[in-house]
Amino acid sequence: MSQIAINTSQNVNINFNIASVGDRILAFFIDLAIKIAYVIVTLYIFFEFLGLGLIMNGLDQWSQMAIYIAITFPIHIYTLVLESMMEGQTPGKKAMKIRVVKIDGYQASFGDYLIRWIFRLIDILMMSGIIGLISMIVSKNNQRLGDIASGTSVISLKNNINISHTILENIHEDYIPTFPQVIALSDNDMRIIKDNYLKALRVDDRQVIRKLSDKIKSILKLDIDPTKLTERQFIGVVIKDYNYYTGKDN
C-alpha cells in the first residue's frame, strides 16, 4: 500500500497509508445506499401519508420540480455536510476506515470540503464517475480532481495496531511521574512524539531525538540537566508521565 508523508503543524513528517481506489468506491456505494434509502422513505411519507401527490397534480412542471428538489435536497449536500461535521468522513468512509485530510498537515476547512463537493460534478456525475476514477488511478496520491484542487487526500485508518503504534505505554502501578506539565500535551501531540521517537531509536538518529527533546522542553517550559537525564531518557519519561496522568496505561 502506497504512503503519503504529511507535514504536521508541529513541523514533523508522518507517513499515512493512502486509501485504495477500491475502498473509496465501496465507501461511495455505502453512502449511495443511504441516500437511496432516504429518498425512498421520504417520498413514501410525503406521497402516501401526507397526500403530496394530490397537491402536485394541480401544480405546473416548474413547481413540481422545485418540490422534488426541496425534498431531495439533503442528499445533494450529504457529502459536504457530513465531511465537515465528521472531520473528513461520511458514514461510508467511516465504515471503510478512510478519511479526507489536508496534505499540508492542517485541519481541512469547510472551504476545502466545499471545493471537493463542487468538483463531484466533474469527478463523479459526469461520465458516470469515469473522470474521477481515471484521476485516482493516474495521480500520485490516488487523488480525484476535487482532491487535487483542494489540496487534500484520502488516507486509510486501517492499521495493524499494537502498543508500540499508539500513545499507550506500559507503566508499573508504583510508577512515580516526574513532569506534571505533560498534561498540557494532547493525544495527537503524544502520538507524534512517540511515533517519531521510536523511528529515531530504530536508526539511531540522534539529530531527530535532540530536536524532539528540545521541542518538548520548549512547549512544556522545562530546563533539564543533561547530566542527570539524557535526551532519550527525558522523552521516555515524558511518554510514561503522559500515560500516568491521563490514565492511558494498559
Residue 199 belongs to what H/E stretch? helix 187-203
Same domain, 106 and 124: yes
Q: What stretches in the chain show pLDDT beneath 70?
A: 1, 5-15, 105-106, 159-173, 247-250
* pLDDT tens sequence across 91-129: 999 999 999 998 876 678 999 999 999 999 999 988 889
Query: Are residue 65 and residue 152 in the same domain, yes or no?
Result: yes
Domain count, the chain: 2
Indicate whether 18 and 124 sit together in one domain.
Answer: yes
Question: 107 CB contacts (<8 Å, ≥6 apart)?
Answer: 87
Among 97, 127, 156, identify where a domain stops. 156
Do 169 and 111 share a structural domain?
A: no
| 150 and 233, same domain (yes or no) | no
By three-state DSSP, how is residue 167 classified? coil
124 in the same domain as 10: yes
29 lies in the same domain as 96: yes
Question: Do 113 and 52 share a domain, yes or no?
Answer: yes
CA distance 12 to 9: 7
Task: Return the SS3 of 154.
Answer: strand
> Do 203 and 167 belong together in one domain?
yes
- What does the pLDDT look like over 34-64, one tens digit per residue? 999 999 999 899 888 887 777 777 788 888 8
Indicate if 63 and 140 belong to the same structural domain: yes
Question: All 3 cell numbers of residue 91?
Answer: 458514514
State the pLDDT at residue 161.
40
Burial 84-117 (b: 16+ CB within 10 A, else e): beeebbbebbbebebbbbbbebeebeeebbebbb
Strand ranges, E, within 43-157: 98-102, 152-156
- Whether 136 and 197 share a structural domain: no
* pLDDT number for residue 185: 86
Are 72 and 15 part of one and the same domain?
A: yes
Domain encompassing residue 199: 163-246
